[in-house]
Amino acid sequence: MAGTLLIAYDGSADAKTALEFAAKTFAGREAVLVTVWEPLMAQMGVAEAFVGVTVSEDEEAVVAKGAQLVAESGAQLASKLGLKATARWESEGAQSVADTIDRLAEEVDAEIIVTGSRGLTGLHSLLVGSVSAKVLKHARRPVLVVPSAHLAEARAEAPASEGADA
């Protein structure tokens, strides 16, 4: 019997592209759509820049509710596309988003982790980081990274070069 997919889903166009590819490739499979949200202070940037700024439990609850809604809408889309999907949302807590995804993959005994890739390069990649690259590098399970539609198109138009980051 085929195993469960763990699909990292943040509601972005890139995540939807990965979800659509997974649904087409693994039709009829069990899938857990996971949205990993960062605490509000982490989303604001470097914590030291916000010394004295407090975030209320109500504000954190709003962020958590948003993550829940994103995960549930992703699971609904996955179900419409032919997967047997459930939603899961979780705070990264003390771990990184990539480590949280890896931990959840182990927890649900996922056969494969599916994630999208925006193809960020240069300073933007350095500042934002690449969750898909971190998952790919550190996961204990197989990982399928699906390039965003615009990235795949750009790669199709450009000649392949050895060692290219995009």
Question: Looking at residue 76, what is its pLDDT?
Answer: 97
- Model's pTM, two decimal places? 0.79
**Cα distances (Å, whole numbers) of residue 74 to 87, 157, 166:** 7, 30, 26
Full set of structural domains in the chain with CATH: 4-157 (3.40.50.620)
Closest CA to 3 of 106, 84, 79, 110: 110
Which are the contacts of 110, defined by CB distance < 8 A and separation ≥ 6? 3, 4, 5, 6, 32, 104, 141
Residue 62 to residue 55: CA distance in whole angstroms: 11
pLDDT per position as a tens digit, 66-119: 889 999 999 999 999 999 999 999 987 778 889 999 999 999 999 999 999 876
Alpha-carbon radius of gyration of the chain: 17
